[in-house]
Structure 1
Amino acid sequence: MLALGVAAQAAGTLVVSAPAFLIPLLRSEGVPLATAGLLAGAPTFGMVLTLIAWGAITDRIGERIVIAGGLVLTALATLAAFASAGDPVLLGLSFLLAGMTSASTNAASGRVVVGWFPKHRRGLAMGIRQMSQPLGVSIAALTVPTIAEAHGIRAALVLPIALTVVLAVLCAIGIANPPRPTRPTGDAATSPYRSSSFLWRIHAVSILLVVPQFTLSTYGLVWLTGDLGWSALGAGVLVGASQFVGALGRIGVGVWSDRAGSRVGPLRWVAVSAAVVMGLLALVDATHLAAAAVFLVIATTVTVADNGLAYTSVAEAAGPFWSGRALGAQNTGQFIAASAVGPGVGALVGVLGFAGSFLVVAALPLLALPIVPPTDEESR
């Protein structure tokens, strides 16, 4: 079930990430970078609109139906994007719908991990589950830009459509809803958002830390091809490889948190490291250092490392009857910030260049440090 959860989330991430890797083709066709960034951000904005709703549905009816049904809807929305290629308005709307439907796998697959794995193994299990995001981005980076360059937008969307259809069937067959305790009443049913500031603080930290992550996943390819002169194929391979290494890093951080018995302690170190690596990327761009590939891999690995820690913290603090909504809220905050990265960082690059933009982004993890809660919390 963990493997199916990872695969389902990876397929959804492939759909959401694909538009970002169409940016080089769109720019070659005369589309301004800010406009192309808006198209790239459309799926993320779509996720923002529905994440909490999908979480609430998962809390009520369970994970299997939400994951399988959501993947069917995602396949249909991506098919609409396939049919809309050549019309920017309809294409953007289709990408928006694809994001709205793919949000179903986020909270539901996270609940599968929390429901079936004990606390001392959740960090590792969630780290494996969180591999799905960089894995999906890796597949997009390796396939979308090269296929789009050679055969156009429609050809680049065939793989996302096929994967979502296949995984919808497999998840309907192979995923079982985890057992739940008796639904509480009275004080025990009180929203965890009322009893503590812990969830609010984790959400705020995650919003700040997601900006460096999406800056690199959205504009890493553009930076390599535009500023550093890489080919689309070479840049796609490097971005895909860096996302794969980042996926392994998420597992390592998850194991670290299990052994430390804490999620928030490692989270602080990740925030510090994210600020450092974004600053180093600014230096690489300003000085044109030859080791750009090495620094991008390191930066990508560090900037994706916080997701599993924060996600597990939220699920543990919210408990089995609020985790769907809490994880939906967690992702909503992140994707609101992420949806602004496309047009926002694109406009920033136009004014400051990549070096200045990377420095601005580097400040956000530093702002997150004092917000990280001092200790972990867990619902009883």
Structure 2
Amino acid sequence: MLLASTLAQAASATALHGPAFLIPVLVRRLGLSLAEAGLVSAAPVVGVMLTLVAWGLLVDRRGERLVLVTGLALTALACLAGTVLHGAVALSLALFLAGAAAASANAASGRVIAGWFPPHRRGLAMGIRQMAQPLGVGVAAVTMAVLAADHGIGAALWVPTAAAAAAAVLVAVVVVDPPRPSRRAVRADNPYHRDRYLGRVHGVSMLLVVPQFVVWTYTLVWLVDDRGWSPGAAGALVALTQVAGALGRIAVGHLSDRVGSRMRPLLWVARGAVLAMLALALTTGLGWGLAVAVLVVASVVTVADNGLAFTAVAERAGPFWSGRALGVQNTGQFLVAAMVPPLAGLAVVHAGYAVAFALAGAVAAAALPLVPVRAEERLT
């Protein structure tokens, strides 16, 4: 279950975040500005944002396996369409549809983990599942950037097409919907009516998305254009940082199991993200070679929070609301994520990379007082 859920999420991440590595080719071959290319790369994120809650509702009503198989198959078809389309508008439409379908994995694969693993092992399991996102980004970085540069955008989009198709087959063979308790055995009321805990977790996650997507979207472009790296070398470094980020998610998930809390480690990670982004801004502004090493640290720290927040939402919402709650969680994140590429692109064009990195750190700092450490229930 864990392997199938992780690979399903990795395929979804490749389809969602892989287009960010098409930005250099979109600028050179289609004549787009950096901000316009960032807008095209954000199309799948917009698709996710608009469909996550609907997929979550379907998970609550019909189960995880059906949603995963259907969504991944539709993702493969949309990416396949993108391989033969030409022009920024048609490509954006295909990527939008791919994102709308890939949203299925965000709620359903997490529900598989929450349903099959007990609380004292759930943080580690969800950390392993959450490593799928940076691993999917890493696969996209090391393959799509080079394929797009050498053979065009259509060739690069075969990567998410194949990944989604393979994941759909694996899920169909392996995944079984986890058992659910009766409504009398657990609380089945609307968790948003109880307190503000879920709302605060959503808010924290939305703010912490900003540094994560600034780093994800513009690392390769920064290395190629500002540091003079080749696309292949830059893509390899991005892939390595994503592997490190994946291991970081596993580590903080295991830590949350050990300390019996999701929110305390989340607060520690948020503080680390602020410091990493400010250090990246400083070293970039001063032109130091150390900036690349700081970038690696920032790439690891800024992705470490997702699994903690995701697990906390699933646990607080319960089995009859977690599909929708996870949909709301990710909708808020992707709402912000959709705005980051074009806005960060404008900041880079008009003020430089150092300012863009500093602004991302400032946004992350706003999340610190929102982390609901005292409102968290003890894990049992």
Same fold (TM over 0.5): yes
Query: Which residue of 1 is the match for residue 28 of structure 2?
Result: 28
Counterpart Cα distance in 1 of 2:194 and 2:17: 36
Counterpart Cα distance in 2 of 1:242 and 1:199: 30
* TM-score, normalization by structure 1: 0.97
Query: Which residue of 2 is the match for residue 101 of structure 1?
Result: 101
Please report how far the alpha carbon of residue 241 of structure 1 lies from its aligned counterpart in structure 2 after TM superposition: 0.5
Query: Which residue of 2 is the match for residue 55 of structure 1?
Result: 56
Please report how far the alpha carbon of residue 374 of structure 1 lies from its aligned counterpart in structure 2 after TM superposition: 2.5
Query: Which residue of 2 is the match for residue 73 of structure 1?
Result: 74
Query: Which residue of 2 is the match for residue 163 of structure 1?
Result: 163
Query: Which residue of 2 is the match for residue 297 of structure 1?
Result: 296
Please report how far the alpha carbon of residue 184 of structure 1 lies from its aligned counterpart in structure 2 after TM superposition: 4.4
1:92 aligns with 2:54: no
Query: Which residue of 2 is the match for residue 346 of structure 1?
Result: 345
Counterpart Cα distance in 2 of 1:67 and 1:189: 24
Say which is worse superposed, 111-120 or 220-229, in terms of deviation.
220-229
Q: For 1:85-234, what aligned pairs fall within 5 Å after superposition?
A: 86-184=86-184, 188-234=187-233
Please report how far the alpha carbon of residue 154 of structure 1 lies from its aligned counterpart in structure 2 after TM superposition: 1.0
Counterpart Cα distance in 2 of 1:189 and 1:232: 51
Please report how far the alpha carbon of residue 188 of structure 1 lies from its aligned counterpart in structure 2 after TM superposition: 3.9
Counterpart Cα distance in 2 of 1:207 and 1:159: 28
Report the aligned-residue RMSD.
Answer: 1.4
Q: For 1:248-259, what aligned pairs fall within 5 Å after superposition?
A: 248-259=247-258
Instruction: Give the aligned residue type for 2:313.
Output: V
Say which is worse superposed, 133-142 or 224-233, in terms of deviation.
224-233
Residues 66-115 of structure 1: CA deviation (Å, up to 9, x unaligned): 1111110001111111121x221111011000000000000000001100
Query: Which residue of 2 is the match for residue 83 of structure 1?
Result: 84
Instruction: Give the aligned residue type for 1:366.
Output: A
Counterpart Cα distance in 1 of 2:267 and 2:155: 42
Please report how far the alpha carbon of residue 63 of structure 1 lies from its aligned counterpart in structure 2 after TM superposition: 0.5
Counterpart Cα distance in 1 of 2:303 and 2:84: 33
**Do 2:45 and 2:96's aligned partners in 1 also have CA atoms closer than 8 Å?**
yes
**Do 1:319 and 1:378's aligned partners in 2 also have CA atoms closer than 8 Å?**
no
Counterpart Cα distance in 2 of 1:365 and 1:39: 25
Residues 151-200 of structure 1: CA deviation (Å, up to 9, x unaligned): 11111111211121121111011000000011349x94320000110000
Instruction: Give the aligned residue type for 1:213.
Output: Q
Identity of aligned residues (%): 54
1:19 aligns with 2:19: yes
Query: Which residue of 2 is the match for residue 41 of structure 1?
Result: 42
Instruction: Give the aligned residue type for 1:60.
Output: R
Please report how far the alpha carbon of residue 26 of structure 1 lies from its aligned counterpart in structure 2 after TM superposition: 1.1
User: How many residues are aligned here?
Assistant: 378
Instruction: Give the aligned residue type for 2:278.
Output: G
Please report how far the alpha carbon of residue 357 of structure 1 lies from its aligned counterpart in structure 2 after TM superposition: 0.9
Instruction: Give the aligned residue type for 2:39.
Output: L
Please report how far the alpha carbon of residue 378 of structure 1 lies from its aligned counterpart in structure 2 after TM superposition: 7.1
Instruction: Give the aligned residue type for 1:248.
Output: L
1:247 aligns with 2:246: yes
* TM-score, normalization by structure 2: 0.97
* Contiguous gaps of at least 5 residues in structure 1: none
**Do 2:119 and 2:379's aligned partners in 1 also have CA atoms closer than 8 Å?**
no
Instruction: Give the aligned residue type for 1:65.
Output: L
Counterpart Cα distance in 2 of 1:188 and 1:75: 37
Please report how far the alpha carbon of residue 379 of structure 1 lies from its aligned counterpart in structure 2 after TM superposition: 10
Residues 296-350 of structure 1: CA deviation (Å, up to 9, x unaligned): 1110100000001000100000000000000000000000000001111111111
* Contiguous gaps of at least 5 residues in structure 2: none
SS state at 2:179 partner: coil
